[in-house]
Amino acid sequence: MVGIVHPGTQMLLVRIIHAGYSVLTVYYSYKITEKLSTRRNAITVGLLMAFIAIMPNFSVRNLVEVVCMPPLLAGVYLLLKRVSIKVFSIGRFRLESPVSVNHPQTSWSAITIAGIIMGLAIGIRFQTGLFVACTGFVLLFQHSFRAFVVFGFMAFVGFFLTQIDDVLLWGGEPFQHLRGYMEYNKENAHQYPGSPWTYLSLITIFILPPVGLFLAVGFISSWRKIAIIVLPATAFIAFHLLFPNKQERFILPILPFIVIAGTIGWSEISQKWSTSRWHSISWKSFWILNTIGLLVFCFTYTKKSRVESMIYLYEAGNCSNFIVEYTHKNSGAWMPSFYSKCNATYYFFGKDDNSEAIMQGIPQAAKATANDIMPRSLPNYILFYDDTELKERVSRMQQYYPELTFRTTIEPGWFDVMLHALNPKNSLEKVHIYSTPRVVEPIHFEN
């Protein structure tokens, strides 16, 4: 509406909006800690959530695992601030909340609003439903069955509100994305295997040692006093340990709760060591290493060549669709096609693929999906990944597109080069862009 059409500028504005939104994560992490513990611990938690090396970089992305943090935290804070949470026992274990004496009268409006807010978090990231459900069970045991029912129902209402786009934008029924997500994970869960150590080493991955180890010990030790945080977070971790698909980012939604509980728990454990030299050196070492990582992550972005190649297609102004031609080593990179503003489903072409079958399938796919939301238009650009056997690969493609013309090469960013040097399994994605003079069906040769 205001004339900002360049995708790079549009995404910069989106990043700025996410940056402002992510400040809520820092704010609510601070307020929850202040409610449960001391102001000094709250300041520590606030600094950690603001300056953990990965957080500024992750917080400005369209990353559901990070976007769901503020509503989860806001819901928990509202419950702690306005709801009477009582002491209860399970067997010989006594779970208690330090805030139970502050609110003799329960605020049912707080339970209602907290349920709706946390239900929105489920709509953003489905797996947070387990965290929210466990929060409800803590209310059941520490408060009342009525509180459990009201909270659960309102969480469902909040989640249902996030399904409006299924009906209005995608012309379907509510929960179709949820069903599709569950079906995809059921069929493909074992396609992305991972070790349980992926999550068990979470703290030392995202929060450098030794502070990461301090927080892990503190988190475990604080479960009795902060059940409303520790038990849901533990259930969330346990589910992801059992599920075959293990990726580090999946655990990010409960990172603030680990930092909160870990800081509170460790502050109690380390009281007799807090003035010792090794404890002071540990924290100083962490902040030095973390600051170095912070400066690196704040001023770079990965997969630069993917973004820049898409921006090149946008600025060319004539892209109808494109083919991604890749070697077997980097097996078909997913392209951020938003930056190209080419609203069509693009094509993959692998080194070991059947060339003739793919070429024959391109015009058929274009005709078959012409009326889809994302049609498969005929391509007029071809993106060759990597330098490996590049001449042979271009010659092979010229059998089908004889008028193929070289346009430019997009180099990877320095961070991608560094990652490749540290681990060659990280593909070095140099992109060579070629074009055809016009949109045509590829030439096919009879045997």
Please check the confidence at residue 26 and state whether its pLDDT lies above 60. yes
Full DSSP string of 66-112? HHTHHHHHHHHHHHHHHS----EEETTEEE--TTGGG-SS--HHHHH
**Cβ–Cβ < 8 Å for 112, 154:** yes
What three-state secondary structure class fits 358? helix
| pLDDT classification of 377: cutoffs 50, 70, 90 | confident
| pLDDT classification of 91: cutoffs 50, 70, 90 | very low
pLDDT on residue 257: 96
| pLDDT classification of 125: cutoffs 50, 70, 90 | very high
Please check the confidence at residue 95 and state whether its pLDDT lies above 80. no
**Cβ–Cβ < 8 Å for 313, 305:** no
Q: What is the DSSP letter of 424?
A: T
**Cβ atoms within 10 Å, residue 62:** 11
| pLDDT classification of 117: cutoffs 50, 70, 90 | very high
**Cβ atoms within 10 Å, residue 349:** 22
**Cβ–Cβ < 8 Å for 385, 428:** no
Show Cβ contacts of residue 410 under 8 Å, excluding neighbours closer than 6 positions: 305, 308, 309, 312, 430, 431, 432, 433
| pLDDT classification of 116: cutoffs 50, 70, 90 | very high
- pTM value? 0.85
Query: Which of 337, 334, 333 is CA-nearest to residue 313?
Result: 337
Please check the confidence at residue 92 and state whether its pLDDT lies above 70. no
SS in 3 state form for 111-152?
HHHHHHHHHHHHHHCCCHHHHHHHHHHHHHHHCCHHHHHHHH
β-bridge pairing 347-350 and 322-326: parallel
Q: What is the pLDDT of residues 160-195, one digit of tens each?
A: 998 887 777 766 677 777 777 777 777 766 666 666
Computed over every residue of the chain, the mean pLDDT equals 84
pLDDT on residue 188: 67
